[in-house]
Structure 1
Amino acid sequence: MKSFDLEGYLSSGVEQVIAGIMKATAKNPKESLFLMQYLLDSRKARRIRKACADAGEHIPPFLIASITTQCNLHCQGCYARANHSCQDGIDGKHPMLTGEAWGRIFDQAAELGVGFILLAGGEPFLRTDVLEQAALHKNILFPVFTNGTMLTDAALDLLGRSRNLIPVLSIEGNEQTTDLRRGNGIYQTLVRSMQRLNKKGIVFAASVTVTKENLAETLSEDFVTALAEQGCKGIVYVEYVPVDAAAKAQALDDTARTDMMNRLNALRECREDMVLLAFPGDERSSGGCLAAGRGFFHINAFGGAEPCPFSPYSDVNVTEVGLRKALQSPLFVRLRENGNLEAGHIGGCVLFEQEEEVRKLLEEPDDDQGTNCR
């Protein structure tokens, strides 16, 4: 693998995203004022991470946090339901983290220089207590990935006074495509939610799960323009991770992934008023997958530190060891050092097809690891 400055690569990516958001929201005074302050905070966070890197400790700028296991929808092909990390009720035997516990995790993240925490679920708007805690951390940007069906008046009020919470509404394409996967009437619910967000001047984005079936539609100029006309300021394209072997036919292979990135780059040329991102995007430029602490890691609803949402295996809990030590979990270290993150793959997760290998690494004897920086 070619050697490169990972911290510089990731930090530059963060600043490019911020610059893109500022450009997309130039006509929104409240958002512009918040982002100007956040940009200063982001540069401070980068200095913290740089100091850690100089001391031999890598701190990723991103985290992904699934703050609830509950969801009010049953989307076709949902990976979270397939691996039982998402359900209808509450498991009384395994209580989810409280809002206060998440607040302490957010505190630690800010101290380490983490600038983005993506909030997911389940449906995050079922945990307004956690969203309230996130709102207090103005030096962290929280994209909230939501199905868009629970944006009540109270939720809109929270978003209106908390500019660091950015709702990202999931959509699959046009009305037929979206309702086929998410349920009848969901597309029109999303349209109404976007209209209400736009009317209140709340910045929002959209998230698209890209399959071979909807790739051409969702990366077309017509689709992007239609979202822009609703007030949408950005789109995150997430490569589909198949729930089982039968679903692999819909996952992107290298040819489809190249097609997606070519279409995305063309859209970026003509839609400078929007932030257009791909996850995981071109991993080759970062020397492999960014999971397991290279660029981010995932915290599940119970505090378990996992390589990513699509590799739900954990050997430490952040509430027990803290965020810093969780970054040096034996599983994460093995995944980073053994070359697992550099393998080729079909679909949006390099570790998905290495399930047995990840299990074996999880079972290896633990070593006490970790460093410190200020």
Structure 2
Amino acid sequence: MKIPDSLTRYGLGKVFDYLDKDPMNNMSKVMDLVNKFAGDTLSKQREAFDNVINDKDSCWHQLIEKVWTQTDPDVLKTVFNNFFVNANLVGWPKQEKMREKYGCNIPWAILLDPTSACNLHCTGCWAAEYGNKLNLTFDDIDSIITQGKELGIYMYIYTGGEPLVRKKDLIALCEKHNDVAFLSFTNATLIDEEFCQDLLRVKNFIPAISLEGFEEANDSRRGQGVYEKVTNAMALLKSHHLPFGISTCYTSVNYKDITSEEFYDKII
């Protein structure tokens, strides 16, 4: 007898509550339970995660502990439910079923460009070739997400252009699809206090911030003053205990920066 998705989500929500009481000590016990429940779903990924959480001296173990203890608790729980539960443990088996039903690939995530518009003019960016007037409507994006969820897809990634040019629409989509995990590549220059408050409210949107090294290398590509805006945005997100990632484009100008210990120390 197949366990209904709603019951699966409820049970895993209770697992999160248990985990949150003592995360790093309980994580291996939770993974034992997940491994029994999940069967062959994402088995290689789960094995890699098991190795990380059981090696307390590894930098990855320390990173997971840092993320868990320094992220806003409500945001963390939503990320757990939408990304780990919906996009993986619930979504993956449904995707497998749909792959068999339709005889084609069903992606784990959908990547889309809300707009070609951008407030920067970065050297070498392909988006500039398309101008700044191409947009998906709110209804188009809503329809893509709605159809995707029917196929078991709960992970959506925005690129551009600069997606945060459309941040009001993106936040509205987070509200409507509160069971989905959203990640957006962004130059971060449009992240402000109001947007951080929106992220705390919707809880299911994570920025992946473009950073091309230290100030000289970064601004040589993205424009003077952008490095300062980006680092200020990172500090603002951190002060609100909001998760974010870093996206770096490897070039002949910045390779020394982005392969240095100093750069990784700064990101960490």
TM over 0.5: yes
2:116 counterpart residue number: 69
For 2:68, the aligned partner's letter is A
The 1:220–1:188 alpha-carbon spacing in structure 2 relative to 1, beyond 3 Å, is same
Q: Residues 55-134 of structure 1 correspond to what in structure 2 (within 5 A)?
A: 55=101, 56-81=103-128, 84-87=129-132, 90=133, 96-134=135-173
Unaligned runs of 5+ in 2: 1-39, 54-59
Cα distance per residue 1:2-54 (max 9 Å; x no partner): xxxxxx8988559979x989655210223332233222212110111111233
Q: Percent identity?
A: 28
For 2:225, the aligned partner's letter is G
1:48 corresponds to 2:94: yes
1:31 counterpart residue number: 75
For 1:25, the aligned partner's letter is V
1:187 corresponds to 2:227: yes
SS of the aligned residue for 2:130 comes to: coil
1:157 counterpart residue number: 197
- Conserved? CA contact 2:218–2:227, under 8 Å: yes
Measure how far apart 1:154 and its partner are: 2.5
- Conserved? CA contact 1:73–1:182, under 8 Å: yes
- Conserved? CA contact 1:22–1:32, under 8 Å: no
State how many pairs are aligned: 212
SS of the aligned residue for 1:97 comes to: coil
Return the TM-score normalized by structure 1. Answer: 0.52
Measured in 1, the distance between the counterparts of 2:46 and 2:171 equals 24
Measured in 2, the distance between the counterparts of 1:14 and 1:132 equals 31
The 1:80–1:182 alpha-carbon spacing in structure 2 relative to 1, beyond 3 Å, is same
Unaligned runs of 5+ in 1: 1-7, 229-374
Which protein is richer in helix relative to its size?
2
For 1:105, the aligned partner's letter is I
- Conserved? CA contact 2:75–2:204, under 8 Å: no
Cα distance per residue 1:263-319 (max 9 Å; x no partner): xxxxxxxxxxxxxxxxxxxxxxxxxxxxxxxxxxxxxxxxxxxxxxxxxxxxxxxxx
Runs of 4+ in 1 over 6 A off after TM superposition: 8-11, 14-17
For 1:52, the aligned partner's letter is M
Measured in 2, the distance between the counterparts of 1:13 and 1:58 equals 20
- Conserved? CA contact 2:218–2:254, under 8 Å: no
1:203 counterpart residue number: 243
Return the TM-score normalized by structure 2. Answer: 0.71
The 1:143–1:129 alpha-carbon spacing in structure 2 relative to 1, beyond 3 Å, is same
Q: Residues 1-374 of structure 1 correspond to what in structure 2 (within 5 A)?
A: 23=65, 25-27=67-69, 28=71, 29-38=73-82, 39-42=84-87, 43-55=89-101, 56-81=103-128, 84-87=129-132, 90=133, 96-135=135-174, 136-228=176-268
- Conserved? CA contact 1:125–1:146, under 8 Å: yes
Measured in 1, the distance between the counterparts of 2:154 and 2:259 equals 28
Measure how far apart 1:187 and its partner are: 0.4
Root mean square deviation, CA, Å: 2.7
